[in-house]
Amino acid sequence: MQRRALLLMTWLSALLALAPAPASAQPAGPQLAPASTATLAVRGVQGTAKGAPVKGDVIELHLFQGNQIAHRFDAVLDDNGLAMFNAIPLATPLRPLVRIMHAGVVYQEVGPLLEPTKPTASMDVAVYDTKLDKPAWEIALRSLMAWPDAQQVSVSEILVVESPADYTWLGGDLDERDQRTTVSVSLPTGARDVNLDEGFHGWCCTKFDGSLLEIQMPLMPGRAAFRYSYKLPVNAGSTELEVAGPVLTRVVEFQVPETVADVRTHAVTAAGMKADDQGALRVFESENQPPNERCGVVLAGLISELPPMAPAHQPNLGMRIGAGVGLALVLAVLLYVLFARKPKPRRT
């Protein structure tokens, strides 16, 4: 038995001796030092069928380090729709944002990260020709979230619109400000303190007449999202949260806190619950809402805003003088009674 074990060990030792020694790890090639500059190639791509060639357009390159702009470069697309940005300083990773002005409209895209280990990149930016022909645009989603308190209801909306066209729509007829409206939606009755949160250029390209919010920006192909907020008054303990749009709305939803027990619906149905940072929300929604037809909810059982207190009645000058004289006479009588000298009794 011992002899067999010894023979087995001898045989294994011989096999190991004959096996080739493992090669030591060698670098596959020369190690490259991190680059100190970067190169970015940008191409403008025509997205409109039979559209004009993309060339000669002004292009801006914004390079972000975190949330701060580190560099900006300007160029012009050549006859092939290309622009090369060379020798970009690259001490730290940079995120490119490219803007191309085509047919009077700015198109922008975020590009790949430029890093010292990956200093070369390319990207395409789609641009479109412009037309005045109204496309068959729709509202893909309209989501309203309401938070009531004792005096008002705060509402935040997300609006997602979609255009199936392969061109950018400039909008309808010119208004009194020489601007064209593309997207418009009605807000609930009594909406005030409207704030434009995301997706807008500002009030230069938006207007609100007290009921209709109009976005006066070119509508590009695909989807565009907007977020805005406003306040609603509480009247007689309730607030009406009903809206309508000028086109088909695929999904419109209303989210209200679970603590609002009395919710009355109009053309919407209960759609479950959602969780939010501020608590649980009840969801009501409508699908394929026809154009210009209102739907929504009424929040009841709220505490109405207290009316301002009426100012206290102020007597006129004559009344105040009379009251002053009367008070003086009363004081005089009291003083006389208290301090007048009583006659001494006579001796008998």
Alpha-carbon span 218 to 201, nearest angstrom: 11
What backbone phi and psi angles, to 5 degrees, belong to 195?
-125, 130
SS3 content of the chain, % helix, strand, coil (to 5): 10, 50, 40
Q: How far is residue 339 from each of residues 125, 329, 330, 334, measured CA to CA in Å?
A: 102, 16, 14, 9
pLDDT for the residue 182: 98
Judge whether 265 and 222 are in contact, CB under 8 Å: no
Tokens of 165: 């066209």
261: left (phi over 0), alpha (psi -120 to 50) or beta: alpha
Contact 233, 136 (CB under 8 A): no
Verdict on whether the full-model pTM lies above 0.85: no
228's CB contacts (< 8 A; 6+ apart) are 156, 157, 159, 194, 195, 196, 197, 200, 213
At 108, list the tokens: 């922008």
For the stretch 250-294, pLDDT in tens is: 999 999 999 998 999 999 999 999 998 888 999 999 999 999 999
Q: Is the pLDDT of residue 323 over 70?
A: no
CA dist 151 and 155 (Å) reads 13
Token match 């011989």: residue? Answer: 14
pLDDT at 29 > cutoff 60 = no
Residue 254: how many CB atoms within 10 A of its CB?
27
Q: What's the distance, CA 329 to chain centroid?
A: 72
pLDDT tens profile 188-210: 999 999 999 999 999 999 999 99
Tell me, rounded to whole angstroms, the distance of Cα 135 from its chain centroid.
25
- Residues 57 and 77: beta-carbon distance below 8 Å: yes
* Domains assigned to the chain: 37-128 (2.60.40.1120), 138-300 (2.60.40)
Q: Which of 88, 111, 87 shows the shortest CA–CA distance to 99? A: 111
Give me 96's structure tokens.
């490119």
Buried b (16+ CB within 10 A) or exposed e, 167-198: bbbbbeeeeeeebbbbbebbbbbbbeebebee
List the beta strands (DSSP E) in 4-67. Answer: 37-46, 58-65
Amino acid identity, position 254:
F
Dig out the tokens for 81 from the structure.
């729709």
HEC sequence for 79-112 = CCCEEEEEEEECCCCEEEEEEEEECCEEEEEECC
Task: Look over the chain and give the mean of its residue pLDDT values, rounded to a whole number.
Answer: 85
Q: Which two tokens stand for residue 192?
A: 């005030």
Q: At residue 72, does pLDDT exceed 90?
A: yes
* Res. 321 pLDDT band, cuts 50 70 90: very low
